[in-house]
Each structure stands twice: as structure tokens, then as C-alpha cells.
Amino acid sequence: MQGPQGAGKSTLAASLQALLQDQPYGLNVAVVSLDDFYLTHQGLVDLADEHPENKLLHGRGQPGTHDVPLLKNTLRAISHINDSDNDLSTTTTTSSLFNGQGDRAPLSIQIEGPLDIFILEGWSLGFRPLPPATLESYHAQPSPIPPPSRPPPYKMHDHPLAAIIQINANLRTISQEVYPFFPLHVVIRPRSYDYVYAWRLEQERQMKALNGGRGMEDEEVRRFVDRYMPAYEVWGNEALRAGLEAEEGEEAGGREVLELVFDEERRVVQS
């Protein structure tokens, strides 16, 4: 399940879990977040030090900031959880640690088998890499065609092409290592990605109200979302993706896709 920060994908996934576990379905459902597979805080610090020129990798969020081997091993174990009586545990991240920079939490999430349905939710799940030539052409346009689903100025222009290409390569790794585990892809797409600023700020304030005020200040939240916007403008651009698929005959890896379009109040206005 893919949806931008603050769109309510975690709430939707939890509601779907409760619905399917209740009667008349009575299914066993587990939900895990991609956010729980970020690198450790020290790992993120080291990553930023290794790529001083790529500001997109200076903090958690973009492809490249996740522990992909750990995620793949967890998914492999979950895919075989019904082959034995073994339960398993997975990592979790506490985003309020290190003043909102986040770190692995000491507690883990327990997943009990057998399972009927497993849901992995994350902001970039389903984004697929683009050919470098497409990225170069798109990035070079002051007013890209097709335009991103948000008004200018565009945040991708705050970063050099090399940084975008590097994230694209990291996304390719995730698409190859993670996506094949899933036959169904649910997409929450806002009418405008500008909604994410207000949604994510609301989310941070709610978290701080519950944890004693630990987390990011409002301006820090905006800068945090700024780091995600290039991905929404490039890999979240439905017209750009559709054009590439029509040109190259690509499909979503054989997966069924359900898309829900949200307005700013998180109401479904199209599916």
C-alpha cells in the first residue's frame, strides 16, 4: 500500500486489518510499515557522510535510506510463515528519537502465524525507476512536461541531476528486491502533492501531543517534506509513468493495482 505522508495509509491499513479480522471474514492479517526498516540513526549519519553532495540522502525517507536486506529477509520469512508453526518478530522505528530524526526502537513487532493476508505500507512503495535519459530530459525542463501534480516551484530543481539518478538507482534495487513479494498494489494518490505539507504537519503535531512534545518543529517538518517532494514530482508523476508504459509496454510487474484519489480532506473522489 502506497500513499504520501499524512494521507492516512497507516490508519487505512489498520482499519482494513480490523475489518478483515472481524466476522464474517475472520482472516488473520498482519500490517508492517516500510518506516520500520530505515537504517539506524548511525547508519543514516554514515550515509549522509558518504554522500555529502546528495541532500536527498541527508536523513530518512528516500530510497537508499532503508535496510533493504533486512526488509527482504523479513518478507521472505513472512512468505513462509505458514510453512511452520513459527512466529516472527520484525524491527520498528521510533520517529521521535534524536529530535525527530528517528532511530530503531528497542522493542520489536511480533507477527503470529498462520497468516491469510500481509500488508506492507509505505510512502514510496510502487514507485518504479525511470530510464536515465527520461530523468535527464525531465529534470532539464524549467516547466516539466508532463507537469508534476503540484504547483511550481518544483523541488526536484533544488537537486542536481546526479542526485536524482542516484535515488533512481536505489529505487531500482527496492523494486527488484521487494515488489515481487506482492500480487496487489493499493495506491493512495492526492489530487495535489502539496497537500502533504499540511498532512505531515498535522501528523507531527498529533504525535507530539501524545509523547510530551518530542519531535520536529513546524519549519523542520516543512524541510522534511521538501526532501520527499522530488520523488513525488518525478516517480509519482502518473502522466510520466503512463507515457513510459505506453512507449515500452511496461506493466506493474503482473500486480493488480487499486488506485484511490484523495482530496485535501482525505475523501476518496476517484477510484
Fold that domain 9-270 belongs to in CATH: Rossmann fold (3.40.50)
Q: What's the rounded mean pLDDT across residues 182-194? A: 93
Tell me the torsion sign for CA atoms 42, 230, 181, 247. negative
Better pLDDT: 104 or 157: 157
Q: What is the pLDDT of residue 163?
A: 97
C-alpha–C-alpha distance, residues 113 and 131, integer Å: 40
Please write the tens of the pLDDT for every residue from 4-35. 999 999 999 999 999 999 999 999 999 999 98
**Among candidate residues 231, 142, 178, 146, the one with its CA nearest the CA of residue 32:** 178
Q: What is the pLDDT of residue 31?
A: 95
Q: What is the pLDDT of residue 104?
A: 62
Q: What's the rounded mean pLDDT across residues 37-61? A: 93
Q: How many Cβ atoms from other residues are within 10 Å of residue 176's Cβ? A: 13
First to last CA, the chain: 14
Q: What is the pLDDT of residue 97?
A: 47
Give the predicted TM-score (pTM) of the model.
0.86
C-alpha–C-alpha distance, residues 70 and 87, integer Å: 17
Residue 235, pLDDT > 70, answer yes
Residue 264, pLDDT > 80, answer yes
C-alpha–C-alpha distance, residues 269 and 271, integer Å: 7
The two counts, helices (H) then strands (E), for the chain are 10, 9
Q: What is the mean pLDDT of the chain?
A: 87
Please write the tens of the pLDDT for every residue from 84-96. 766 676 665 555 4
Residue 249, pLDDT > 50, answer no
Backbone angles phi, psi at 188, to 5 degrees: -105, 115
> Minimum mean pLDDT among 77-91, 149-163, 240-254: which range?
240-254
**Among candidate residues 122, 164, 123, 145, the one with its CA nearest the CA of residue 33:** 122
Please write the tens of the pLDDT for every residue from 74-86. 999 999 999 876 6
Any residues with CB less than 8 A from the CB of 112 and at least 6 apart, and which? 28, 30, 87
C-alpha–C-alpha distance, residues 159 and 54, integer Å: 8
pLDDT band at 217 (very low <50, low <70, confident <90, very high): very high
CA dihedral 248, 134, 239, 125 (to 10 degrees): 90
Q: What is the pLDDT of residue 259?
A: 92
Better pLDDT: 269 or 41: 269
CA dihedral 192, 193, 197, 198 (to 10 degrees): 30
Q: What is the pLDDT of residue 83?
A: 87
C-alpha–C-alpha distance, residues 78 and 23, integer Å: 24
- DSSP β-bridge partners for residue 103: 94
